[in-house]
Structure 1
Amino acid sequence: MRGFVPQPTSRALMELNERSREIFRRIVESYLATGEPVGSRNLSRILPMSLSPASIRNVMSDLEVAGLLFSPHTSAGRLPTEAGLRFFVDALLQVGDVTSEDRSRIEAEVRASGQQKNTDAMLAEASSLLSGLSRGAGVVATTKSAARLKHLEFVRLDAGRALVVLVSEDGTVENRIVDLPPGLPATALVEASNYLSARIRDRTLGELVAEVESERARAEAELDSLTARLVESGLASWGGRGDDRQLIVRGQANLLEDLRAMEDLERIRLLFEDLETKKDVIDLLARAEDGEGVRIFIGSENKLFSLSGSSLIAAPFRDASHKIVGVVGVIGPTRLNYARIVPMVDYTARVVSRLLEGR
């Protein structure tokens, strides 16, 4: 596995003695498994060294002062803080490999959808698959303009709106509604469609936008000013200006199954709002595109999950030119099974990359 990219960890935390590390590790592992606080008496039964509950409480207090643990109630055990989870992930997490069963399923299902030559269908399948395997929400963010196009057509809906139909070389069809300039003649839509169709073959949207902008003077000579405005407004919805990325989310309902981990329904409501704020999700996933490896974002480390207390595990994938074109990942409560999901996300990203590189 390529491994994940750790965040900077305080030297003071890295210098915890062996006893403190072991107690802290057991508390976090128990929390990830059950979502419940862990008390000193239970810890004394499972620790490999012989320590009294009183000695363990002293260590837990020190870990709380260090900002790694907190007590949800006066008489309760301890839970890891977000800083504690980050320390655990960066310094103590032992990441295994994908199980043979999960590996076979990922390989078979993503490859089967990829054989249809429909990139969107393959990415949607990858998102759904990760959701099912992780019991979280599977997410994919990718650049729309990466697809090579073969057809574009404007269809008038009413006096002020038109439908733009985009067909990619891989068979993907995307429809968008755009506003029409006031007073646009009926023939302008046909002229705009013909103008772009003559230039669109085997180009991405980004390339087409660049070409149209560079040929603006010639375009205005060929088309009247209203048609030129229609061309620009239609392409701006997908091209280099503005939001040119798409987001695929599958399995949000899985996040409802673990009410204890999310603490209450209000936090779940906030998480759904997070997922619906597509720009923030895409911006966050874009951070995972930098460099190789899996990135892990925990709780308030980013503004998107500052209220809902959620984590994201994400890895980039590449196209046939070995360029990073998107990110695949899992969103869930902070007590995700990181050891299992990190290699799963990494392997899924590599399978998607192999399929895209082979096209």
Structure 2
Amino acid sequence: MTKPVLDPALANLDTRSRDIFRHMVDSYLRDGEPVGSRSLSRLLPNALSPATIRNVMSDLEHLGLVYAPHISAGRMPTQQGLRFFVDAFMELGDVSEEERRSIDAQIKTSGKSDSLDSMLTEASQLLSGMSRGAGLVLATKSETALKHVEFIQLEKTKALTILVSQNGDVENRVIDLPAGVTASQLNEATNFLNAHIRGRTLVEARNEIARLKEETRTALDTLSQELVDRGMAVWAGAGSDLPIRMIVRGRANLLNDVTEETDFERLKLLFDDLETKEGLMQLLDLTEGGSGVRIFIGSENKLFSLSGSSLVVAPYRDQNSRVVGALGVIGPTRLNYARIVPMVDYTAQVISRMLR
């Protein structure tokens, strides 16, 4: 994680001010409460009177690093203060041996036995459980080769189409059936498609079926031909304008610090925004802007400005070292950054190794 150049006014804080500020933020991140001068005087290694500490706190407030949420209350760090703390003071821990084993075991097991989607879902669930925040995974939709397609009749007018790619991913869609279609015609359409899509990407398969239009008319009856057309049409329109998918686990964890109805609405807006094409693309762009873990605190990014949330995110890469997705943790601004940053970084490294 690269650290930006600090504002000269902040970089030149004297040792006493820096010490008081650091202890104040440490206390806030631990307890989530404003910190008063008397409490700080007991925390500081050097004996300072509450009056001296109050003077320093007033100077820190003037610099925009702390604020008083209530009259006569202690001080809490502002978002600018949290950013200053992260950039200037935070000492990253390391992933504990127990956490490392847990990440390795769960992701590597799911990666060997299940699809890529299952592995990424497991990573999202894992990050949520370990951070007590929401685990987030972004994955680009690559044009993988297809393996198999199948129609399964659900009722007279509906069928489930199942598309399996060669990397093990499975996607399902429900389509409307032509009137009067039979089980044998479903099998006929399935067999025709499988004869022409295997080893091709979805775009290539669609082009191939269009090229074989005359052959389709010869080989299939009218209803079977219509089934082929409907099957290809539903896959052609399945998220074709959205090249990224998002997996989120642990949204309920974000409600633990919510106390007012407006906060619930802000969180809802956050996830509504995240799930748009623009929101997903913006998140991936944020990740690609740096080589490692990046931290976004509150209003530093417009996606999180209303909800007051923070994001710790890192990219993962394929065998060609291309960024193909991102993973991270969304939580309140008082996240335990020192613990979560290396956790996110290590999980991204494990995913990257599994993709090579």
The answer to whether 1:336 aligns with 2:325 is no
Structure with more contact order per residue of length (Cα contacts < 8 Å, sep ≥ 6)? 1
TM-score by length of 1: 0.82
In structure 1, C-alpha distance between the alignment counterparts of 2:85 and 2:60, rounded to whole Å: 13
Match of 2:270 among 266, 269, 274: 274
What is the CA–CA distance in structure 1 between the aligned matches of 2:188 and 2:114, rounded to whole Å? 31
The 5 A counterparts of 1:173-184 are 173-177=170-174
**C-alpha spacing 1:54/1:126, structure 2 compared with 1 (3 Å):** same
Structure 2 counterpart of 1:76, one-letter code = A
Q: 1:283-322 maps to which residues of 2 (within 5 A)?
A: 283-286=281-284, 287-322=286-321
Return the offset for 1:52: 2.0
- Structure 2 vs 1, CA of residues 139 and 324 (structure 1 numbering), >3 Å: closer, same or farther? same
DSSP-derived class of the 2:73 partner: coil
Question: Offset at 1:6?
Answer: 4.2
| Residue of structure 1 equivalent to 2:63 | 66
Aligned-residue offset at 1:163: 4.7
- What's the secondary structure of 2:71's corresponding residue? coil
Among residues 22, 26, 35, which one is paired with 1:25 in the alignment? 22
Greater C-alpha Rg:
2
Residue 87 of structure 2 is aligned to residue 93 of structure 1: no
Gaps of 5+ in 1: none
Partners of 2:150 and 2:199 lie apart in 1 by 16
Instruction: Give the superposition deviation at 1:30.
Output: 0.7
Q: Deviations over 1:104-123 (max 9, x none)?
A: 11111111111204111111
Q: Distance in 2 between matches of 1:246 and 1:52?
A: 55
Query: Which deviates further from its counterpart, 186-195 or 63-72?
Result: 186-195
- For 1:304, what is the secondary structure of its paired residue? coil
CA RMSD of aligned residues (A): 3.2
Tell me the TM-score normalised to structure 2 length.
0.83
Is the partner of 2:149 in helix, strand or coil? strand
Provide the rounded CA distance (Å) in 2 between the counterparts of 1:219 and 1:9.
Answer: 63
Moved more, 323-332 or 154-163: 154-163
CA contact (8 A) 1:138 1:250 kept: yes
| Cα separation, 1, equivalents of 2:81 and 2:215 | 63
Aligned to 1:55: 52
Indicate whether 1:171 and 2:172 are aligned. Answer: no
- Secondary structure (helix, strand or coil) at the match of 1:73 reads coil
Of 56-65 and 341-350, deviating more is 56-65
Residue 138 of structure 1: which of 114, 123, 135 is its match? 135
Superimposed CA distance per residue, residues 276-315 of structure 1 (whole angstroms, 9 cap, x where no aligned partner): 4412652343121344211111111222222221111111
**CA 1:233–1:115 in structure 2 vs 1: closer, same or farther (change >3 Å)?**
closer
- Structure 2 unmatched runs, 5+: 218-224
Which position in structure 1 is the counterpart of 2:40?
43
CA distance in 1, matches of 2:8, 2:196: 57
Structure 1: which amino acid aligns with 2:346?
Answer: Y
1:285 corresponds to which letter in structure 2?
A: L
Q: Does residue 264 of structure 1 match 2:265?
A: no
Aligned length: 343
User: In 2, are the aligned partners of 1:311 and 1:331 still within 8 Å (CA)?
Assistant: yes
Q: Contact 2:173/2:234 (CA < 8 Å) preserved in 1?
A: no
Q: Could you tell me how far apart the structure 2 residues matched to 1:301 and 1:162 are?
A: 47
* Percent of aligned pairs with the same amino acid: 53
User: Among 66, 78, 83, which residue is 2:75 paired with?
Assistant: 78
Q: More displaced, 15-24 or 168-177?
A: 168-177
CA contact (8 A) 1:294 1:316 kept: yes
Q: Tell me the secondary structure at the aligned position of residue 335 of structure 1.
A: coil
Q: Is the 8 A contact 1:178 1:234 kept in 2?
A: no
Distance 2:90 2:337 in 1: 8
| Distance in 1 (alpha carbons) for counterparts of 2:288 and 2:125 | 21
Which SS does the other structure have where 2:303 is aligned?
helix
The whole-number CA distance in structure 2 between the counterparts of 1:230 and 1:7 is 51
The offset of 1:138, in angstroms, is: 0.9
For residues 155 and 142 of structure 2, the distance between their equivalents in structure 1, rounded to whole angstroms, comes to: 27
Structure 2 CA distance for partners of 1:231 and 1:346, relative to 1, 3 Å: same
Kept in 2, the 8 Å contact 1:255–1:332? The answer is yes
Verify the 8 A CA contact 1:146 1:325 in the aligned structure 2: no
